[in-house]
Structure 1
Amino acid sequence: MIRKIWCTLPVNKVVFLRNIILRIFWDGQDIPSVEVPIGDFFGIAHGRQKRMVTPFVGMQDARGLNCMIPMPFRKEVRITLENDSDQDVPMFFYQIDFTLGDQLEDNAGYFHAQFRRSNPCPIRQDYIVLDDVCGKGVYLGTVLGIRNLYSSHLEEWWGEGEVKFYIDEDNKSPTICGTGLEDYIGSGWGTDETVTPYQGAPLLDQERGLYSLYRFHSFDPIYFEKRIKVTVQQLGSGQRSWAKEFYGEKGGYYKAAGCAEDDDICLFERNDDYSSVAYWYQTLPTTPFPGLPDRKERLEGLRT
């Protein structure tokens, strides 16, 4: 069983954090069960490094990248790192701690992690964090990156959308439907920059419109028997007059909590740049992942 993965590389290099790709292959599979840019895998979106420490992944002092998620295997494991940037990495150090001969339960699942990005995510469409996963398992957590594309009003709030889990036979309506994105990460009425063991928002860069959030389902596990799909609704709040200038009638415009029907403060549909990492365990075989976004797609809009 893999017990810990640690690494460090030159700090504040977006080109490396988004273009060094971590892949893990379990028990002779030809397709990876983990395929994620290294920065996103360790918990911070957009190729940034921020202080974040959780029991699962984190960036200690924004420099040491740590993963302590238990990863059982039965026969063999292959871990690769691909430098898909346009530069040589001048220094890269790593350590992988593992044990052999572990007594695993018959139903012990294999760790999986998948990266996605939709830039921009089409308006009135939920962003897909995870889809087409077939097997039996448990959903562990989410790292979510949002780049605010509502460029003229970066102060407007993007976090009203529901996080939805479609489990097994539930296709039309979600099995679990949250009350808003800030609620999913444990806050409410917005969020401040905060890090707790299981949920938080370590990056809120209002000047550049970059936000990184996370939630781990340690005490509220989400089990599935056959399949799972996870999505995030794109919904924000702010001034109706501003939103109509930007989105026109596509914004929808709905009554906000505590406001009158015709109040200028309302909820509205948005389309922002979303990226994510989904972490989960499942039985093998791994369903082939969608194609990893290429270098240009991974970096667009993120270089400083």
Structure 2
Amino acid sequence: MRNIAVFFIFTFGILFIAQAAPADEITGYETLINWASLPSAKTGMTSHMASSYDRSGANEDWNWYPGYDRQLNALTDNETTVTLLDVQGSGVLTRYWMPHATANGGRAVTITVDGVAMVVTDTNTLLGGSYATDDTNLFKSPLVQTVAGGQMSYEPIGFSTSLKVEWTNLAHTSQPGMTSYTRRGYYQLNYQLHSNDSVASYTGSLTDQQSSARQQAAAVISNVGANPAGESLSSTKLNTAAQSIAAGQSISLASMGSGQSGVIRKLNLKMDDPSDAALANLRIRINYGAQSEFAVDVPIGAFFGAASSSAQQYKSLPMGTDSTDGYYCYFPIPYRDGVTVEIYNAGQEDFAIGGGIVEYEAGPVADDMGYFHAGYNVSNPGSATHNMLSVSGKGHYVGNILTIKAPESDADGLKSNILEGDERILVDGERVLHGTGLEDAYNGGFYYNHVLKQDDDGDPAYPATDVGAFGGLLLMDTLKDRESGEPDILSGILQASQCRWMLQDLVAFDTGLNVSIENYGGQSAIYESTSFYYLVPEPATIATFLAAGFVSLCRRRRQCR
């Protein structure tokens, strides 16, 4: 018994020492500069969003604020200071989004950190990238971006005890001078709360640690299209030659057997002028070890964001279709006991690929590293809500690709207000992140700058494609205006495809997650989505851990009483 007691004390001593070791303060740049740690469990962190969604259940998702049971749109509400977010604790504001047109309205905004007003400016200056601080790099590109009618800041604002965001509310009424849509107060504020780690509070300037982290993060964003993890001198590349895949058959891109562990750093697939049928029927499938179900089983078009054979190529941080090696996926994919990656032809005819590359790094995988998953869902035309993801367990959600289409039988296309549908993320069955409209969820604004068009800050009018590092519009295919003959979103939408990557603003969950989007107006739209997330395997219990040590001790002594 004495040996067992020594083992028990020694084991818990190690655990205690490991937990007591000091850690660097959280800066908010961690996801971008520590890309390889993206799969790791996000312990002690909860994800939240404050937004202007209509609390009455209608569709007027503006001028709504916490603490009010009505929309602040009366004459008496004009030019009043209102609170968008007021939170206690330690955390990081990770994303501040507004429609470009509304941000250009220039309402006053104040961000108070730990009781001190640290940002005092207006929305046009802040989200247009011209806000001046003690550090001239802060609140500038590439962490402040304009994409497809939306403007957003991914400049992290850390706080140790509290964070408060206020602005000037502007009424939008029929009164003279108050009818401009730019007066409507749309907003989304994503933030994380941390219970276990120390957070570096925003002070208007950066410490050496923060400055180094920001430089690295900016370099990753500026080099979009390259692997955010950088190059590896110890990785292995598996190359697959160009070939045709027969109907009902599959080819292997990678197969690591039982007992092998490591991380896939990159997936590439070359497709030379693929047809829509090839994009829909060739499926990428990933299976871990002896698991009976695929963690990924998704059409390659829906997985990589190749929205259509006619869509322009794009680059974003984790995914893209524009690289010298073809389509790319940079999400780290850990495996513990082998993994297979294959392309399966689910169609009725042969389809060709131009080749493939799987780059991996063999080695041990930490216990808290989650398995990469992609959930693929299609909703029938007319469904009131499209369920994008429903999953149980512990993990974190890192984004999605969504396509909405008009049925081929619908020559009039979809009404443009299909983009009014709100996104809802239900975390652990109790906390809701409620969005303000479809294009808002994908960093766009005002129908992806097809209405209330803005042309400053590099925002293109009527874009067919406009994607930033964290997502945007992959494809807008509309009918043409009968008089001008030009594409016109108000004439009808044939297809709208978009992506959003939640990296600094990833959504951690402990027991489960549900992601859905509203089909506004119940139109006959076909929704197709791929949601990306990590699931952390159930940890061994302390009892199991001790039992394993006890058995090991018995074996060494060749006795067990």
TM-score (norm 1): 0.75
Q: 1:73–1:91: structure 2 CA closer, same or farther, 3 Å change rule?
A: closer
* 1:188 equivalenced with 2:445 (yes/no): yes
Q: Is the 8 A contact 1:25 1:79 kept in 2?
A: yes
Shift of 1:91: 4.3
Map of 2:389 onto structure 1:
130
Map of 2:164 onto structure 1:
none
Shift of 1:10: 3.0
Instruction: Please show how residues 32-47 of structure 1 align to structure 2 within 5 Å.
Output: 32-45=294-307
Q: Once superposed, what is the RMSD of the aligned Cα atoms? A: 2.2
Matched residue SS, 2:301: helix
Instruction: Please show how residues 157-196 of structure 1 align to structure 2 within 5 Å.
Output: 157-170=417-430, 175-191=432-448, 192=463, 193-196=465-468
Looking at structure 1, the residues matched to 535 and 302 of structure 2 have their Cα atoms a distance apart, in angstroms, of 21
Instruction: Please show how residues 231-242 of structure 1 align to structure 2 within 5 Å.
Output: 231-235=516-520
Instruction: Please show how residues 249-288 of structure 1 align to structure 2 within 5 Å.
Output: 268-284=521-537
Looking at structure 2, the residues matched to 206 and 61 of structure 1 have their Cα atoms a distance apart, in angstroms, of 27
> CA-to-partner distance for each residue in 1:82-118, whole Å, 9 max, x for gaps?
112222224431010000014x332110000021111
Q: Percent identity?
A: 28
* 1:107 equivalenced with 2:368 (yes/no): yes
Looking at structure 2, the residues matched to 85 and 146 of structure 1 have their Cα atoms a distance apart, in angstroms, of 22
Q: Which amino acid aligns with 1:195?
A: V
Instruction: Please show how residues 218-233 of structure 1 align to structure 2 within 5 Å.
Output: 218-233=503-518
Aligned length: 246
Map of 2:402 onto structure 1:
144
Q: Is the 8 A contact 2:378 2:528 kept in 1?
A: yes
Matched residue SS, 1:28: coil
Matched residue SS, 1:213: strand
- The structure with the largest strand share of the pair is 1
> CA-to-partner distance for each residue in 1:228-277, whole Å, 9 max, x for gaps?
11100111xxxxxxxxxxxxxxxxxxxxxxxxxxxxxxxx4433111000
Shift of 1:167: 1.4
Shift of 1:49: 4.5
Map of 2:267 onto structure 1:
5
Q: Which amino acid aligns with 1:19?
A: N
Q: 1:118–1:213: structure 2 CA closer, same or farther, 3 Å change rule?
A: same
Looking at structure 1, the residues matched to 477 and 272 of structure 2 have their Cα atoms a distance apart, in angstroms, of 21
Q: 1:121–1:56: structure 2 CA closer, same or farther, 3 Å change rule?
A: farther
Q: Which amino acid aligns with 2:372?
A: F
Shift of 1:200: 0.4
TM-score (norm 2): 0.42
Looking at structure 2, the residues matched to 47 and 65 of structure 1 have their Cα atoms a distance apart, in angstroms, of 13
Map of 2:119 onto structure 1:
none
Q: Is the 8 A contact 1:50 1:62 kept in 2?
A: no
Q: 1:203–1:61: structure 2 CA closer, same or farther, 3 Å change rule?
A: farther
- The structure with the largest helix share of the pair is 2
Map of 1:54 onto structure 2:
316
Residue segments in structure 2 that go unaligned for 5+ positions in a row:
1-262, 449-462, 480-492, 539-561
For the pair shown, which has the larger CA radius of gyration, 1 or 2? 2
Q: Is the 8 A contact 2:405 2:525 kept in 1?
A: yes
Looking at structure 2, the residues matched to 72 and 81 of structure 1 have their Cα atoms a distance apart, in angstroms, of 19
Map of 1:204 onto structure 2:
476
Looking at structure 2, the residues matched to 199 and 55 of structure 1 have their Cα atoms a distance apart, in angstroms, of 8
Q: 1:106–1:4: structure 2 CA closer, same or farther, 3 Å change rule?
A: same
**Higher RCO, Cα 8 Å, sep 6+:** 1
